Structure 1
Amino acid sequence: MDPLVLTQIIPEVLDPFTPTIPLRITYNNRLLLPGIELKPSAVLSRPRIDVGGNDMRVFYTLVLVDPDAPSPSHPSLREYLHWMVTDIPETTSINFGRELILYENPEPRSGIHRMVFVLFRQLGRGTVFAPHTRHNFNCRSFACQYHLNTVATTFFNCQREAGSGGRRFAPQGP
């Protein structure tokens, strides 16, 4: 089963989509695999992110959101926006984009938080703008507002340094 569906990122954060562009994310030379657990100390600095493809005339927006803020049982700040980079040319790294919302490292206070990276294809350079606030960001509304298409996503789980255990999911019906 798709990890995005299993962890309910689809449908809570995104609608179903077909990935079309490779997205490679590494924190401290450690490849981010879907659902890996990373403690706050491992994500202090922004990761290295490379976007695949072969046409530098195509541009992307990357966001990092926490749909479980401030806690998974009461996500009143859902989706908290930790980072936004726009105008990333295909075939390059995010270093070639424009950082509109500075990277804020995840520091969950309670529970296990799903930290979701979403890569959107833009209509063109300079067509996406930063929201006024980080809390209550909404990937679907954002994509609709700027006519963006979801092309790649991945996520990691993060909890406070002393935390342990796993996210529990109710069994799905037939």
Structure 2
Amino acid sequence: MASHVDPLVVGRVIGDVVDMFVPATAMSVRFGTKDLTNGCELKPSVAAAPPAVQIAGRASELFTLVMTDPDAPSPSEPSMREWLHWLVVNIPGGTDPSQGEVVVPYMGPKPPVGIHRYVLVLFRRGAGVAAPPPDADAARARFSTRAFADRHGLGLPVAATYFNAQKEPANRRRHY
């Protein structure tokens, strides 16, 4: 009988970005016509614009979405781990990030070398929590999803997914 190994463990998302958690909220992510599955590869040009993210839950529940690159600037030497690509707070359940407050605007993948992981982590937070101010937390380089969650009392994630991307030759970029 084959055992199931969580793709977030295989991809080292659990460990490098977040601690082990039990998914408690459904989250779907789509870039153009491509539904995101853990570990899939996307061309940076396909992920240049923010994805369509659908978050389950009741409207009375609020969520925080964090997207980072734990492999910046290079997977072999991630000295800028993690690079913050997107931060949206106070997203009502049953909606998408456009209904929340953008703290750090979306920045598409731009991996300079190697294959980079891009991780989207969802946290549940209580109603009425104010958006964190765009201070040191909003610094893109050396962001820490764990430290951010600790500072703002978010607890463990309720959902996470990731994709891989690598630099694409200029003459092969596809735009949707």
When the two structures are superposed, what TM-score results if normalisation uses the length of structure 2?
A: 0.88
2:121 is aligned, of 107, 111, 118, to: 118
Q: How many angstroms apart in 1 are the aligned matches of 2:54 and 2:139?
A: 26
CA contact (8 A) 2:103 2:138 kept: no
Aligned twin of 2:144: 138
Q: Which structure 2 residues correspond to residues 1-174 of structure 1 after superposition, within 5 A?
A: 1-53=5-57, 55-129=58-132, 130=134, 131-149=137-155, 150-162=157-169
Q: CA deviation at 1:96?
A: 0.6
Letter in 2 for 1:147: G
1:5-28 alpha-carbon deviations (Å, 9 max, x no partner): 111111111100000000011000
CA RMSD of aligned residues (A): 1.4
Map Cα deviations across residues 119-147 of structure 1 (whole Å, 9 max, x no partner). 01113334341424111111111111111
State the identity as a percent: 41
Q: What SS does structure 1 have at the residue aligned with 2:109?
A: coil
Give the deviation of 1:29 after TM superposition. Answer: 2.5
Number of residue equivalences: 162
Could you tell me which runs of 5 or more consecutive residues in structure 2 were left unpaired when the two chains were aligned. 170-176
Contact 1:122 1:128 in 2 (8 A): no
Task: Name the SS of the counterpart of 2:45 in structure 1.
Answer: helix
**Equivalent position of 1:169 in the other structure:** none
- Aligned mates of 1:132, 1:42 — CA distance in 2: 25
AA in 1 matched with 2:44: P
Q: Structure 1: which 4+ aligned runs deviate by more than 4 Å?
A: none
Structure 1, unpaired ranges of 5+:
163-174
